[in-house]
Amino acid sequence: MEKVVYLDNNATTAVAPEVFEAMRPFLTELYGNPSSIHHFGGQVAAHIETAREKLASLLGAQPSELIFTSCGTESDSSAIYSALSLCHQRRKVVISKVEHPAILALGKELERRGYTVVQIPVDSKGRLDMECAEEMIDTDTAVVSIMWANNETGNLYPVAQLAEMAHKQGALFHTDAVQAVGKVPINLSELPIDMLSLSGHKLHAPKGVGALYVKRGVRFRPFIVGGHQERGRRAGTENVASIVGLGKAAELAKQDISIENTKVKALRDKLETELLKLPATRLNGDPEHRLPNTSNISFEYIEGESILMLLDMYNICASSGSACTTGSLEPSHVLRAMGVPYTAAHGAIRFSFSRYNTEEEVDFVLEKLPPVIARLREISPYWKG
């Protein structure tokens, strides 16, 4: 396969070679069902528990506080539905305007079911309006769900503070931490967070596995029922290989977490600094409180899909907040919530790094991208040079 410069790690990541090796036995000889009474199957259960311990260690959680799921979205839905069914006298859910569709679309569904769902607004840098949050979270609120880090801008949100606000009103606090886990240090034992969702494929484990953290003492009602797996909290035969992979990925993430803030951040910063030197560019997001791997840059007067298509000619992968890339007609809801002008929103490109990226790759992008921008601006009726 041709060399690919992969700067789209917030979309998904490569499975780490160590993760793949750890998974291999469970896709070949160790295929037993962990629930079986015989040793051949039963021995597999121990590996699931080891994976749980590794993931717990990354999060500063107890292994018993973790439930393996199929993905981040399942974890999100499980958390919110559980919170709602356990405090059914409360009819309100507080989220933010910049949540991932996993939460936003769930919010729409809950509205159809008669719940009140309110969205905390953000400012031009994508920072939450905390005063507004304080007002919105009230005694009718069952659960507050705010993402830890935003997938498009990389913005980090004050989850501990929000959790305290929720608790003050007797509400539960959930965070979609899909983008944060493995990129920023997390110690749940010291945080008032009740529930946290994560996804394997964002941290070099495979797709199709995720986890939900439920703090000890917080009641939980299962989303999927049918079997005793995960101590009755998530029925269904375990995705053993992927769970083992997630465990391994968590172990690697814990070991390498310092790299995120050094090597990965340095690569991101280099690309960002150079690209922002181009005329009519702007950074989207909050440079002070951001994931170290994400950069969202608008190239004004041109359209994101065209940029990505031309980058694709060089096997450079990134993504866009543009409407055209998805076939939707509106640019990214995150950028619109931030009030990014349309001139810039349509030409927003997200670069997201991982520890596998190199400086050569950054240099390659810096060589190829500026001519692409210039070429498209030449075609654009809005660009006046």
CB 140 within 8 A of CB 158: no
DSSP 8-state symbol, 15: P
DSSP 8-state symbol, 278: S
Q: Tell which positions 243-262 bind another protein, by CB under 8 A.
A: none
- Distance between CA atoms of 129 and 318, rounded to whole angstroms? 29
Q: Is 1 in the site for another protein (CB under 8 A)?
A: no
Query: What is the closest distance, in whole angstroms, from the C-beta atom of residue 244 to another protein in the complex?
Result: 31
Question: Comparing C-alpha atoms, which of 334, 360, 346, 358 is closest to residue 126?
Answer: 334
Q: Which is nearer to another protein, 205 or 344 (CB)?
A: 344
Choose one: 2-10, 119-127, 279-287, 376-384; the region binding another protein (CB under 8 A): 376-384
Q: How many residues bind another protein (CB under 8 A)?
A: 26
DSSP E strand boundaries for the chain: 5-6, 66-69, 92-96, 116-120, 141-145, 172-176, 195-199, 210-214, 281-283, 294-299, 316-317, 319-320, 348-352
Query: What is the closest distance, in whole angstroms, from the C-beta atom of residue 98 to another protein in the complex?
Result: 18
Query: What is the closest distance, in whole angstroms, from the C-beta atom of residue 189 to another protein in the complex?
Result: 42
Q: Read out DSSP for 36-104? A: -SSHHHHHHHHHHHHHHHHHHHHHT--GGGEEEES-HHHHHHHHHHHHHHHTTT--EEEEETT--HHHH
Q: Is 380 in the site for another protein (CB under 8 A)?
A: yes
Choose one: 73-81, 212-220, 323-331, 349-357; the region binding another protein (CB under 8 A): 323-331
Among 327, 360, 384, 385, binds another protein (CB under 8 A): 327
Integer CA distances (angstroms), 368 to 163, 333, 361, 372, in order: 44, 29, 11, 7
- Distance between CA atoms of 24 and 21, rounded to whole angstroms? 5
Query: What is the closest distance, in whole angstroms, from the C-beta atom of residue 308 to another protein in the complex?
Result: 9
Choose one: 30-38, 147-155, 230-238, 324-332; the region binding another protein (CB under 8 A): 324-332
Q: Tell which positions 282-321 bind another protein, by CB under 8 A.
A: 301-306, 309-310, 313
Choose one: 109-117, 244-252, 270-278, 341-349; the region binding another protein (CB under 8 A): 341-349
Would you call 324 a catalytic residue per the annotation?
Answer: yes
Q: Is 40 in the site for another protein (CB under 8 A)?
A: no
Query: Two tokens at 99?
Result: 């949540």
Query: What is the closest distance, in whole angstroms, from the C-beta atom of residue 136 to another protein in the complex?
Result: 23
Using alpha carbons only, give the angle 223, 228, 232 rounded to the nearest 5 degrees. Answer: 45
Q: Which is nearer to another protein, 11 or 257 (CB)?
A: 11
Q: Is 111 in the site for another protein (CB under 8 A)?
A: no
Query: Two tokens at 384?
Result: 């006046």
Among 100, 201, 346, 350, binds another protein (CB under 8 A): 346
Which residues are marked as active site? 324
Footprint of another protein (CB under 8 A): 301-306, 309-310, 313, 322-325, 327-331, 342-343, 346, 378-382
